[in-house]
Amino acid sequence: MTVFKDKNTVIIGYGSYIPRYRIKIEDIARAWGESLDMLRGLRVQEISVKGPDEDQVTIAVEAARNALRRAPEVNPKDIGAIYSGSESKPYAVKPTSTIVAAAIGAPMSVRLADYEFACKGGTEAIISCISQARSGMIKYGLAIAADCSQSLPGDVLEYTASAGGSAFIIGHNSGDPVAYFEGQYSVGTDTPDFWRRDLIKYPRHGGRFTGEPAYFRHVIAAATGLMKELNMTPEDFDYIVPHQPNGSFPVEVAKRLGFGESKVLPGLLSPIVGNFYSGSSPTGLCKVLDQAKPGQRILLVSFGSGAGSDAFSIVVTEGIERKRGLAPKVEDFINRKKYVDYSLYARFWRKIAL
């Protein structure tokens, strides 16, 4: 769909944030009398839990600040756009990006908007920053992908829906890049696999319908479409980072696309922290950037229910060696944890009506 002829549209800084709290899925299963055998297919051991004073805005701000730490050459006053992708904004009407802008010291002359496309609002934010940077409309753009993923108590989503996110400073011919974009390809259809109606607190889904006609069809179409446009095969990529709704889908989709497990496991987060919805594949990308070498190529493929996928080919550059140590790595957040039981989890999430 779009192949960039140059190497000048770049990620200048990246950063993540994952809350400290965790719950083991056996604790959730115990609360609902669910058999762990029924949940093994998810391949998820534990999920991150937002703290009582955390929400999608606080995660977005923390991730944005970490992205800026890895972009010391970027003055926040030069950021021309801030786009936040999420499906769990604390305000139905008032953009998260306005609060992020104030929190990082962005100028008043800035484009601000929030994106929603289930779990791929964050990659839509990235595409907007790429477009505006390439067209010269902005010098730097800040794209944020973060969620406090909602799940109906007792629903199977509760075993995967978690909290976290990432942010990226994107520019064109500017800054000390950690990676550049080589191409982008998107697909979208009307596929009702997962939704949340207006004024309804928790999303609903089509159970197994979320697999073949939704996740697998769109992720495979976007990934193969991009590789065809770039005239590349899985052998040309060192890593693949698909959306991670659980621990099994990303490994399975990589296998179907022709990628070995060694290329998907480095960016796989869901078995140990769950599904950050919009923040899922972008945080997987950050985990790969935390360990990748200059010259290595990454295939990032988001998936948003409804449904659609955005695929990106990203090549790591020399700047990664200078910048990855400037902010906490994804692994640092993974290792920082305190377990809570289901009652505290429900309390933090305000799942108990007072």
Partner 1 sequence: MMPKSPRIWQLAERRYRLLGSKCTVCGKTSIGPRSVCPVCGSEKIETVQLPSTGKVYSYTVVHMLPAEKDGYGPYIMAIVELEDGTRLTAEIVDCEPEDVKIGMPVELAFRLIGQESEHGIIYYGYKFRPIISRT
Residues serving a catalytic function are 87, 119, 243
Residues that bind partner 1 (rule: CB under 8 A) add up to a total of 31
Give the Cα separation of 85 and 166 in Å (integer).
10
Task: Indicate whether 204 belongs to the interface with partner 1 (CB under 8 A).
Answer: no
Task: Indicate whether 52 belongs to the interface with partner 1 (CB under 8 A).
Answer: yes
DSSP run (H or E) holding 62: helix 56-69
CB 272 within 8 A of CB 266: no
Rounded least distance, CB 91 to partner 1, Å = 7
Nearer residue to partner 1 within complex by CB, 69 or 111:
69
Sign, CA torsion 145/147/151/157:
positive
Out of 38, 102, 200, 265, the only residue in the binding site for partner 1 (CB under 8 A) is 102
Task: Indicate whether 283 belongs to the interface with partner 1 (CB under 8 A).
Answer: no
Task: Indicate whether 61 belongs to the interface with partner 1 (CB under 8 A).
Answer: yes
**In this structure, which amino acid lies at residue 172?**
H
DSSP run (H or E) holding 179: strand 179-191
Give the Cα separation of 218 and 307 in Å (integer).
7
CB atoms within 10 A of CB 140: 27
Out of 236, 261, 318, 332, the only residue in the binding site for partner 1 (CB under 8 A) is 332
Out of 24, 72, 103, 341, the only residue in the binding site for partner 1 (CB under 8 A) is 103
Task: Indicate whether 40 belongs to the interface with partner 1 (CB under 8 A).
Answer: no
Rounded least distance, CB 99 to partner 1, Å = 7
Task: Indicate whether 202 belongs to the interface with partner 1 (CB under 8 A).
Answer: no
Nearer residue to partner 1 within complex by CB, 130 or 169:
169
Preceding peptide of 60 cis, ω within 30°: no
CB 329 within 8 A of CB 198: no
Out of 3, 32, 36, 105, the only residue in the binding site for partner 1 (CB under 8 A) is 105
Nearer residue to partner 1 within complex by CB, 44 or 99:
99
Task: Indicate whether 55 belongs to the interface with partner 1 (CB under 8 A).
Answer: yes
Task: Indicate whether 125 belongs to the interface with partner 1 (CB under 8 A).
Answer: no
Instruction: Measure the CA dihedral 39/44/48/52, to 10°.
Output: 0
Task: Indicate whether 108 belongs to the interface with partner 1 (CB under 8 A).
Answer: no
CB 121 within 8 A of CB 95: no
Residue 305's nearest CA partner among 150, 100, 169, 184 is: 150
DSSP assignment string, 140-157: EEEEEEEEE----TTSGG
The C-alpha R_g of the chain, in whole angstroms, comes to 19
Out of 65, 152, 202, 209, the only residue in the binding site for partner 1 (CB under 8 A) is 65
Rounded least distance, CB 1 to partner 1, Å = 36
The binding site for partner 1 (CB under 8 A) comprises 20, 51-55, 57-58, 61-62, 65, 90-91, 99, 102-105, 325, 328-329, 331-333, 335-336, 338, 347-348, 350, 354
